[in-house]
Amino acid sequence: MNHFAQLNKQYIGGEWKDGHGQNVLTDKNPYNGEIVAEFRIANLQDIDEAYQAAAHAKEEWDKVNPFTKRAVLERAIAYIEQHEKEITEIIMDELGGTRLKAAFEIGLVKDIIKEAATFPLRMEGKILPSPVDGKENRLYRLPVGVVGVISPFNFPFYLSMKSVAPALGAGNGVVLKPHEDTPITGGTLIAKIFEEAGIPKGLLNVVVTEISEIGDAFVEHPIPRVISFTGSTQVGSHIGQLAAKHFKKAALELGGNSALIVLEDADIDYAVNAAVFSRFTHQGQVCMSANRVIVHQDVYDEFVTKYVNKVSTLKCGNPREEDTIIGPLINKRQVQNLIATVEEGIREGATPILHGDVRGNVVEPIVLSDVTTDMAVAKRELFGPAVCIMKFSTEEEAIRMANDTPFGLSGAVHTANLERGAEFAKKVYTGMIHVNDGTINDEPLVAFGGEKNSGLGRLNGPWSLEEFTTLKWISIQHTPRQFPY
């Protein structure tokens, strides 16, 4: 059970220690309520110490050979591979992830560190021509300095690492604040991995705390130049405004309300499998999840019947059991919010064609039909195992329905005609959309991010390198210049 319970400390300046805050944060297993770990939370003094440590250690990191930096990141991958069993256990215990989910998340983590390990060798500059005689223009790519990372509870290991590893690879110091429901998987586990990999003391710091203790200090502190936040649109908007006020760059990966569209010529059995995976992976707690499944009227009845039949077979309950697909939501508040939205949808006219029970934090699947675009269930992000099925008659109507949301993260379209699918995909206003696939995709080399209220900026591959670096122009005047006076 407590494989990583010793990781219940702050990691600041290369030291494991208790925070100076008054409160103790109790980290609980969302399935059975058992205590995973307890943390003395960090306060403003700890936040300042962490940022100071990162800034100081970044100067040491600057002196490290790029090939040596790459080796450190490669050792982090090796450490994860040696401890996959223990990491799987903590993903199950701390956030209610199934074994399938844990394997999926650990795979994503290894892939993103492999990509980040190339960053020290990709800090390339340019020499550019000048209209001034005798001038040489050099453009240097440099680390921004220190990056503040705030990660969520749903894929905390990956969504922390997605910013931490590239920021380190690009030469920065990092301070990471994991979500209070997942302080180990999203925080101190990552500190342990990089400590074992041999990064300089203080280069990566992890502060476990609560907003009631630190307010906006994590974002407003003068040291970090970039704040990378993954989480809700509401909080992301607040962080974006704070960052702009203090002339920091914000990378914001926010909520979604993705649509999976099934055209009349789709392979229905295949589309059902993609749609079920797109909604019920990690019990629907994925920003890219298909909240809305929009189906052509000619195949609607067949699709709905097959979809409900498949969803009815998904095993719900203990995430430690090998064949469990749907484990618990992260906490009671998330359960209550989901059920309240579903009940509102039913009052507005949605029909619950499947409505499972709620047992503790485990919510059995809820499938709603007769949903229209003006209903609460179609407008909000359903961060749990509930789904809206909607009907359309023309392609134009399907595009209009898919776009009738303030979000624009992911999506999918199913059709026998791949070029028709690609043309349809171009008309859906999202950062990402997939033809004949699910809505949940994330690859280390491909730009990841949303439009509209789903965020700002892109991560992965060269886009992460861009987010976590800056450009500096140094010119050299080789021959005396003629000044006008």
129-138 pLDDT tens trace: 999 999 999 9
Percent of the chain with pLDDT over 90: 99
Q: What is the pairing mode between strands 10-12 and 407-408? A: unpaired
For the CA atoms of 420, 421, 423, 426, the dihedral, rounded to the nearest 10 degrees, stands at 170
Work out the angle between the directed axes of helices 395-403 and 418-426 (0-180°, nearest 10): 40
The whole-number pLDDT of residue 35 equals 95
- Is the pLDDT confidence value at 2 over 70? no
Q: In the numeric block, which tokens belong to residue 111?
A: 């892939």
The whole-number pLDDT of residue 221 equals 98
- Is the pLDDT confidence value at 310 over 50? yes
Binned at pLDDT 50, 70 and 90, residue 64 comes out as very high
Calculate mean pLDDT across residues 22-39: 97
CB contact at 8 A, 30 and 70 = no
Calculate mean pLDDT across residues 378-404: 97
Between residues 14 and 3, the one the model is more confident about = 14
- Is the pLDDT confidence value at 5 over 90? no
Calculate mean pLDDT across residues 178-189: 98
Of 52, 12, 76, 65, residue with least CA distance to 171: 65
CB contact at 8 A, 2 and 36 = yes
Calculate mean pLDDT across residues 82-94: 97
Binned at pLDDT 50, 70 and 90, residue 214 comes out as very high
The whole-number pLDDT of residue 403 equals 98
CB contact at 8 A, 9 and 189 = no
Binned at pLDDT 50, 70 and 90, residue 3 comes out as low
405-461 pLDDT tens trace: 999 999 999 999 999 999 999 999 999 999 999 999 999 999 999 999 999 999 999
152-164 pLDDT tens trace: 999 999 999 999 9
Write down all domains in the chain, each with its CATH number in brackets. 3-255+454-473 (3.40.605.10), 259-435 (3.40.309.10)
The whole-number pLDDT of residue 481 equals 95
Kindly list the catalytic residues: 253
Q: DSSP alpha helices (H): ranges in 246-312?
A: 268-280, 300-311
The whole-number pLDDT of residue 6 equals 80
CB contact at 8 A, 284 and 377 = no
The whole-number pLDDT of residue 1 equals 42
